């Protein structure tokens, strides 16, 4: 299936808010499939939101089982119209983003969240995420709202250049 190009900053599309999908809309499951195929093409990536690939739909995928740091997770998840309904245990942590390939930043995020959404079959789900998985979900949901992780930093001291892998 198609591996879509990932938009990088300063593409203005990244700042647009994605509208909710109507339940049953076939655009939702197709967006999830495209996101899964694209995520698979980026070995270090654990999440991707539809606006990052030029699709204005409230769709995202996360897969923390791909993470280099072991953590509790739900495996590969595709969510449509996700909404955070509870957030607690706030803590700063280091984040990166495919749309900012050269940057990392310290961002304060909830370490426990509850999310209501639809899965790829348009069945409603209500899930609790903790730790790194909670952070990844918040990061991707922000993309759906046109919010970039740099919008969440407090000062330039929280911004870092990503180290390049030795070749």
Please indicate, yes or no, if residue 1 is contained in any of the structural domains: no
What mean pLDDT do residues 66-84 have?
Answer: 87
Please indicate, yes or no, if residue 123 is contained in any of the structural domains: yes
Biggest CA–CA distance in the chain, Å, is 47
Confidence of residue 167 (pLDDT cuts 50, 70, 90): low
Confidence of residue 38 (pLDDT cuts 50, 70, 90): very high
CB atoms within 10 A of CB 87: 15
Please indicate, yes or no, if residue 73 is contained in any of the structural domains: yes
What mean pLDDT do residues 17-29 have?
Answer: 96
Full domain range(s) for residue 27: 12-161
pLDDT tens digits, one per residue of 89-99: 999 999 999 99
Residue 43 has pLDDT above 90, yes or no: no
- State the pLDDT at residue 1: 59
Please indicate, yes or no, if residue 7 is contained in any of the structural domains: no
Query: Using an 8 Å Cβ cutoff, are 63 and 98 in contact?
Result: no
The pTM of the full predicted model, rounded to 2 decimals, is 0.94
Confidence of residue 166 (pLDDT cuts 50, 70, 90): low
Mean pLDDT of the chain: 93
Count of structural domains within the chain = 1
Please indicate, yes or no, if residue 2 is contained in any of the structural domains: no
H or E segment at 31? helix 27-40
CB atoms within 10 A of CB 103: 16
- State the pLDDT at residue 163: 80
- Which backbone phi and psi does 3 adopt, to 5 degrees? -100, 115
Residue 7 has pLDDT above 70, yes or no: yes
Please indicate, yes or no, if residue 6 is contained in any of the structural domains: no
Q: For this structure, is 161 an active site residue?
A: no
Which of 72, 133, 140, 161 is flagged as catalytic?
140
Please indicate, yes or no, if residue 5 is contained in any of the structural domains: no
Sole residue written with tokens 């899964």: 36
Residue 68 has pLDDT above 90, yes or no: no
Please indicate, yes or no, if residue 3 is contained in any of the structural domains: no
- Say which CATH number the domain at 88 has: 3.90.45.10
In the three-class reduction of DSSP (H, G, I as helix; E, B as strand; rest coil), residue 38 is classed as helix
């Amino acid at each position: 299936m198609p591996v879509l190009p990932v938009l990088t900053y300063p593409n203005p599309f990244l700042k647009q808010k994605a509208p909710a999908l109507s339940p049953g809309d076939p655009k939702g499951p197709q967006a999830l499939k495209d996101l899964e195929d694209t995520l698979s093409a980026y070995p270090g990536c654990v999440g991707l939101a539809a606006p990052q690939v030029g699709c204005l739909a409230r769709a995202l995928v996360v897969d923390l089982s791909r993470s280099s740091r072991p953590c509790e997770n739900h495996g590969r998840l595709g969510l449509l119209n996700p909404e955070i309904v509870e957030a607690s245990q706030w803590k700063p942590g280091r984040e990166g983003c495919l749309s900012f390939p050269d940057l990392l930043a310290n961002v304060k995020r909830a370490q426990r969240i509850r999310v209501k959404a639809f899965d790829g079959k348009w069945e409603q789900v209500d899930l609790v995420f903790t730790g790194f998985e909670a952070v990844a979900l918040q990061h991707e949901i922000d993309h759906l709202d046109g919010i970039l992780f740099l919008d969440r930093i407090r000062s330039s001291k929280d911004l870092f250049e990503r180290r390049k892998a030795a070749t």
